Amino acid sequence: MKRKIASSKLRSAAFTRTRADHSAELAHDYCELIAELIDEKGEARGTDIALRLGVSNATVAKTMKRFSDQGLVEQEPYRAIFLTADGWKLAEDGRRKHAIVEQFLLALGISSKVAQVDAEGIEHHVSDETLKAMARFLARN
Amino acid sequence: MKRKIASSKLRSAAFTRTRADHSAELAHDYCELIAELIDEKGEARGTDIALRLGVSNATVAKTMKRFSDQGLVEQEPYRAIFLTADGWKLAEDGRRKHAIVEQFLLALGISSKVAQVDAEGIEHHVSDETLKAMARFLARN
DNA sequence: CAGAAAGTTTAGCTAGTGCTAAACTTTTGC
DNA sequence: GCAAAAGTTTAGCACTAGCTAAACTTTCTG
């Protein structure tokens, strides 16, 4: 019965991680997008974020307030949004993972549209070990 | 500018899908586990589900009521939980995807523990195209 | 430079997913 | 066959993440 108990613990751990991941995922997505907008235009405005994320302005405002409390972004009232050091860390981490996963999927023969969408979903759920294996695979192909 | 607009739409679509996926993910996880418990013990009791999912009994009860309204599970008061045809469909779909992703990760050289956990996270985010590519890769290796 | 347009914030709503504590039912063990 | 243990349900709370509508501020334009 040892195996079953172990696998049950593993499942519960994975599930717990899944739940915790959902909010982290959102933070990653927002920070990645804000970083992109800053690179493109020098600043990230609420409307642009809302438009690209497919979400209302109000939702962005509320989320930005939460993230500001968590120290991920900085913002003056009625002004654009910027990332803190922590925010940049999340953004860079996300970009790195995203790039590896997307390249990996392309190398596997996935079409570029699907690779982009799947990479977005997968990037938040790959461990470092898996990421390294993907990078290794890419290096060999 | 066409490329940028297209890529922005794609991002928004991916993000929208991510959000919609979160509740579907939960349904998949519950149904998969219920299926497992039924296979193992002939029935799925609330306590067992709660224990394996690392969640309180009350949460399971509430979720089961919701799923019952959605036609995924069937339950008499104070009795065990069973899957409807739709519930079984979700469970089987999840198991199939999980198996392919896990095998794929193992083939990539990931350790079995990590493969199990990562597969749990990834299985909900792979398109059919990617799943097929993984199966193809497995067949060739 | 005043009024319109664009953008932001706030208020108030919904739904999902989690919790604890208390009430209730079923099962078990003496 | 009754009392204790085990399991289930309900009530009530919190937080996240979304929405619309309305109020407010900033920017643009004639």
Q: Return the domain boundaries, chain A.
A: 22-140
The confidence score (pLDDT) of residue B141 equals 84
Q: Is the pLDDT of residue A101 over 80?
A: yes
Mutate to test the interface with A, among B40, B120, B124, B141 (most CBs of A within 10 A): B120
The confidence score (pLDDT) of residue A5 equals 39
Q: What is the pLDDT of residues A27-42, one digit of tens each?
A: 999 999 999 999 999 9
CB A91 within 8 Å of CB A35: yes
CATH topology of domain B21-140: Arc Repressor Mutant, subunit A (1.10.10)
Give me the torsion for CA of A39, A43, A48, A49, rounded to 10°. 80
Chain A residue at shortest CA distance from B51: A12
- What the block records as the tokens of A101 is 């996963």
CB atoms within 10 A of CB B62: 11
Q: What is the pLDDT of residues B72-104, one digit of tens each?
A: 999 999 999 999 999 999 999 999 999 999 999
Whether A14 and B117 lie within 8 Å, measured CB to CB: yes
Kindly indicate the confidence band of residue B8, based on its pLDDT and cuts at 50, 70 and 90: low
The answer to whether the Cα torsion of B121, B12, A137, A132 is positive or negative is negative
Query: Percent of chain B at pLDDT above 90?
Result: 83
Q: Is the pLDDT of residue B125 over 90?
A: yes
- A112-122 and A85-107 helices cross at what angle (nearest 10)? 140
- What the block records as the tokens of B96 is 């199939």
- B2-41 and A46-53 helices cross at what angle (nearest 10)? 50
Closest by alpha carbon to B72, among B82, B80, B62? B82
**Closest Cβ–Cβ partner in A8, A116, A125 for B52:** A8
Burial of B139 (0-12, 13-18, 19+ CB in 10 A): exposed
CB B122 within 8 Å of CB A126: yes
Tell me what the pLDDT averaged over chain B comes to.
91
Angle subtended at Cα B27 by Cα A25 and Cα B133, rounded to the nearest 5 degrees: 70
Q: What is the pLDDT of residues B26-51, one digit of tens each?
A: 999 999 999 999 999 999 999 999 99
Q: Which numeric CATH code is attached to A22-140?
A: 1.10.10.10
**What's the Rg (C-alpha) of chain B?**
18
The confidence score (pLDDT) of residue A4 equals 41
Closest by alpha carbon to A120, among A104, A101, A136, A134? A101
The confidence score (pLDDT) of residue B15 equals 79
